[in-house]
Amino acid sequence: METAFINTPLGVTKLEGDSDGLASIKVLDADETISSHIPDSLKIAAEQLQQYFEGNRDNFDIALNPQGTDFQKRVWEALLKIPFGKTVSYLDLSKTLGDPKAIRAVAAANGKNPLWIIIPCHRVIGSDGSLTGYAGGLHRKKWLLEHESPFKQQSLFE
């Protein structure tokens, strides 16, 4: 498994993967040591994430290789179908997967997603529109949803 680090608006982000695809993305604690070297196997992923954060990309076309159970992988596949700038509820996602009663299992699988942003678990919200749980922290989920919103807030102060 190879590792790369990129600076993002959400913090220093660690990418892990190999020739089989990107396996995980993590935002690091401030005290972790990082290297600026990006292995060839992770260059496209790093470039596409930077483009996303710059507002120049709304989808990803890289090989993915997340590790999880068959159920988790089914949930993550469903997450990939949520369009950029849109949200769904955990109930909607459970219904998409064929079992409206599986909300807790779907939420747990969503929380285990190792490829946040690329597999857009941040696009899943509570049925009442609330920002519920996010492994990366609710402040990051809010940032990502605002970043993807087609309705940009304009600053009153320049």
The residues that are catalytic are 121
For 147, phi then psi, to 5°, come to -60, -35
* Cβ contact 73:112 at 8 Å: no
* Cβ contact 112:72 at 8 Å: yes
Q: Which residues pair with 3 in a beta bridge?
A: 16
| Type of residue numbered 95 | K
